[in-house]
Structure 1
């Protein structure tokens, strides 16, 4: 028809990163297909044996087979684009990586193991000469881009067939011998990574997208040293939703049957039991964490534009939280003492937070960091303040800076395993800066709040001996 459809694909919906996934969603939304997608899944009989040595390098693998594929140039390009987009979803640091191979060019069973940097050689994708793993990291474009992942490793992960032929050096590059072409009719797909749940999800996303083209899916047995499993698992997840919950959250007076119809358009399987709905979610819906997530799809399926806006009939008066009021008072005192406030990132890295401060410890890690500079949440303010002074070396001395900000500490007693704590940090650089000055500042601040602390010497690796102390008040540090 010549019409163009533009869609915004959010990162929480990786199932829409492929043309097949978009088509699957649209067919439901437009009423062409309803309910839970059904996929033919049989056992291939193929086994991947996982060697114990990969546990220290890249411990998890999932694999599957797709048979009867018909790959035109356009489909092949789409397949490669989907693979790259899913790489971004699984982790910019390739914490999960996908390999796609021509199954008929290799011979199972396969072995997922490790090799030394110079132990074997193979022809990597888009190359003509055979290279060792070490040479690939130095000479191949993908090796130079992602080689840092294997930096410092004594052995590298490798996927081999029963004749010792290399399928891939994950997560870097596939073998040229297993290249997928338009003549390929059967695919072997693997996903390797550091997190098992991401590995399995990546395989499900890849294979269900191909299934939308009518190709046949088969499982592969993964044989770990201590367990066995068949992948992929396409078992739907079960949720329950109450009719009243839709009314409470969305303000829509919809009966259970109407809600079921909307959810079927959104590609769920639904069974109505009175005013309760049993909902089966497809395995590729990685964004569903709680039944409340179903309500978002009810709203989308019903139409946000059809939901009348309504002002809540509750009057409230906002006010600052106690910690914010106290923080403002501390800021006022510090400014009065001649300090300038700075604001730094809560995100940092282990080198800055621990190593450069000559300390050790644990911190909350960022699951999918976009930069090596920001991989953890800080546990104290001093490293951030020192970084500010380092960046301002060209400015005249003295410099007096402070920050009132949050740090994040691990705490197994909380629901999330961590808690935020509001802290004050201050630094002075210049003539006269030393223990006596910073002690006087701390005492002046505490006096403003009626606190007369007891001061005790502190032995801390970040400070010279005799230059650190801890304050106690009413027996508390």
Structure 2
């Protein structure tokens, strides 16, 4: 889990008043926040699904609710500003999304600056997926002359002084010499033009997602802050902006909007309008296992910073825009349990006469995992949800997939039918590390099957991949056969052709005359689509059929 460092005195000031340490620590533990206190310094482990608590401001906001100091939905009054951001069409194929906002009446001290910078970096690592999906820029607005232009430049184009340096550099030089350029340069590698933000005077604000300029950095003298978020996914980009501005608002700063203009389209950000979801009181009681009155549920939810309107046994629940984790009724019910107190729930022995044991497929998976580790492979875990482009388009295949109804993002619109695309994506994310690399994953895939009631079945599979000089057909076949031998899997090999693999270097694995897997060398066309520069060999077998 992400770990942040906060200042105890700063937390108390934001919560308001002198509160006993044990009371605050117990409340934080209730929220799933693990704390380690050393004098005035507090290290806090934050759950992955709560990026809004990756700062002392976010933690103080929810603590004020639990402690009864400030309940209900946080209110954000957004003022009008004269800041406009113009989007150039050249950013469409580079980093198309941008959202921005302004904080006014700012009074910064060292603690506040450190907190803002820490939140920025923690959001980069978690929500922003190491700056790939979203990256954040924070600037002293008084050093900027609006309007601001979001455009692109040649690698040897606009020169500016990057943050922490004293000499001007070209974008290409920044990627080679600046620590952030070296760390995140792979996100721009191969692009003909790089994204930049510049003001009307031609001053460079930043080169996202790499680095800000030294000239616009925030200091203790800053009185107005400009925040921008650029990226690939709108929900992530706008969500990161909301979290940043909500944290600034928690310190008493005023928030103002920014007009975004893209050709003929104009919109403003941030949008602090709350989300809305229906919660049935019956489901709350049945899920948690206790009888709560509607008034008690409402009181708990208000402490958890919700607003509620009642209609019989159904609650219309409004949740803050920074709660990106709220997707289903069960997420709100979980907050009711947290607000009520897990420590108050009495454990009950289930009234069933069955004996539990590890499922056979889990035993097989465990043994397969040990075998792969013994072969020198490193385990990875990826998402079950994927996209048609990754599963089919990049793999050069056409296939019907199990699709998600009303997906939140096109990146997670289908259930994967193979583990191989996920492994290739992991290798692509790590291609700047030395080779050879050997990784594997054990996970579920969904395969269409009309004989099932749902017309789809879940299959447990094992997939392995090698990249670098060892990525040969002989090596990957040897690894696949070693696994099947250790699992007492009776198999036979048959030559085949597959659009994802090099012709003549791919075979399918059969058991009882049915196809149970495939192994071979990935074709150059697929490697190119994933941005991989080294050869890759893979195998995939069904564990559920063993």
Q: Could you tell me which residue of structure 2 aligns to residue 124 of structure 1?
A: 162
* Residue 43 of structure 1, CA deviation: 2.1
> Tell me, what secondary structure is at the counterpart of 1:31?
coil
Contact 2:85 2:258 in 1 (8 A): yes
Contact conserved, 2:242 with 2:270, CA < 8 A, in 1?
A: yes
Q: Take 1:404 and 1:138, find their aligned partners in 2: how far apart are those partners?
A: 33
Number of the residue aligned with 1:436: none
Aligned to 2:211, which of 170, 173, 177?
173
The alpha-carbon distance between structure 1 residues 260 and 422, as it changes in their structure 2 partners (threshold 3 A), is: closer
- Counterpart residue number, 1:241: 279
8 Å CA contact 1:347, 1:375 repeated in 2: no
> CA 1:255–1:429 in 2, change beyond 3 Å: closer, same or farther?
same
Moved more, 217-226 or 133-142: 217-226
Equivalent in the alignment of 1:55: 92
2:270 pairs, out of 225, 232, 245, with 232
| 1:12-31 mapped onto 2 (5 Å cutoff) | 12-31=49-68
Indicate the residue corresponding to 1:45 in structure 2: 82
Gaps of 5+ in 1: 332-339, 349-353, 368-373, 380-389, 393-402, 434-443, 448-454
Q: CA contact under 8 A between 1:458 and 1:470: conserved in structure 2? A: no
Contact 1:343 1:405 (8 Å CA) reproduced: no
Q: Write the deviation string for residues 107-128 of structure 1: whole angstroms up to 9, x where unpaired.
A: 1111101000111211111222
Relative to structure 1, the CA distance from residue 265 to residue 157 in structure 2 (aligned partners, 3 Å threshold; closer, same or farther) is same
What SS does the aligned partner of 2:173 have? helix
TM-superposition CA deviations, 1:65-103 (whole Å, max 9, x none): 111000122222222122222222223421211111111
SS of residue in 2 equivalent to 1:167: strand
Unaligned runs of 5+ in 2: 1-17, 34-45, 369-373, 383-389, 402-409, 413-418, 425-435, 465-471, 479-488, 517-546
C-alpha separation between the residues in 1 aligned to 2:65 and 2:80?
29
- For the 8 Å contact 1:255–1:275, the answer to whether it is kept is no
Matched residue SS, 2:258 = strand
- CA displacement 1:230-284 (0-9 Å, x = unmatched): 1111010111111211121011111111100010011101122232211110111
Counterpart-to-counterpart distance in 2, 1:29 and 1:466: 61
**What's the secondary structure of 2:242's corresponding residue?**
helix
> Quick one: which of 187, 202, 212 aligns to 1:149?
187
Q: Counterparts of 1:273 and 1:258 in 2: how far apart (Å)?
A: 15
Distance 1:314 1:184 in 2: 64
* 1:162 to 1:466, Cα distance in 2 relative to 1, 3 A: closer
Is the contact made by 1:13 and 1:285 (CA closer than 8 Å) also made in structure 2?
yes
Question: TM-score, with normalisation over the residues of structure 1?
Answer: 0.74
CA distance in structure 2 between the aligned counterparts of 1:14 and 1:424, rounded to whole angstroms: 32
Aligned to 2:21: 3
* Residues 123 and 176, structure 1, Cα contact 8 Å, conserved in 2: yes
* Residues 491 and 510 in structure 2, CA contact (< 8 A), matched pair in contact too: no
Over aligned residues, Cα RMSD in angstroms? 4.4
2:248 corresponding residue in structure 1: 210
1:39-86 Cα offsets, whole Å, 9 max, x none, are 111221321111111111111110001110001222222221222222
Shift of 1:225: 3.3
- Taking a change above 3 Å as real, the CA distance of residues 298 and 225 of structure 1, as seen in their structure-2 partners, is same
**Tell me, what secondary structure is at the counterpart of 2:21?**
coil
1:91 aligns with 2:109: no
1:283 matches 2:321: yes
**Deviations 1:14-46 (Å, cap 9, x if unpaired)?**
111111111111111011111001111122132
2:199 pairs with 161, 164, 188, which one?
161
Residue of structure 1 in register with 2:105 after alignment: 68
Change (3 A) 1:469 1:232: closer
TM-score if structure 2 supplies the norm length? 0.65
Cα distance change, pair 460–73 in 1 and its aligned pair in 2 (3 A) = closer
Q: Is the 8 A contact 2:447 2:458 kept in 1?
A: no
2:346 to 284, 304, 308: 308
Shift of 1:228: 2.5
Instruction: Describe the shift of the 1:136–1:240 C-alpha distance in structure 2 as closer, same or farther (beyond 3 A).
Output: same
Q: What secondary structure sits across from 1:377 in the alignment?
A: helix
In 1, the alpha carbon distance for the partners of 2:57 and 2:67 equals 15
1:270 to 308, 320, 339: 308
Residues 1:35 and 2:72 are matched in the alignment: yes
* CA-CA distance at 1:161 after TM superposition: 0.7
Whether the 8 Å CA contact 1:347–1:376 is kept in 2: the answer is no
Any conservation in 2 of the 1:204–1:234 contact (CA below 8 Å)? yes
Aligned to 2:13: none
How many positions carry a matched residue from both structures? 413
In the TM superposition, residue 428 of structure 1 has moved relative to its aligned partner by 11
- Aligned counterparts of 1:255 and 1:148: Cα–Cα separation in 2: 55
User: Residues 456 and 205 (structure 1 numbering): CA distance in 2 closer, same or farther, change over 3 Å?
Assistant: closer
| CA distance in structure 1 between the aligned counterparts of 2:441 and 2:65, rounded to whole angstroms | 51
SS across alignment from 2:351: coil
Query: Following superposition of structure 1 onto structure 2, how do residues 332-371 of structure 1 map, counting pairs within 5 Å?
Result: 345=379, 360=396
Assess if the C-alpha contact under 8 Å between 1:366 and 1:376 holds in 2. Answer: no
CA contact (8 A) 2:61 2:250 kept: yes
Using the alignment, how far apart are the partners of 1:281 and 1:184 within structure 2? Answer: 32
Higher RCO (Cα < 8 Å, 6 or more apart): 1
Deviation larger for 62-71 or 1-10:
1-10
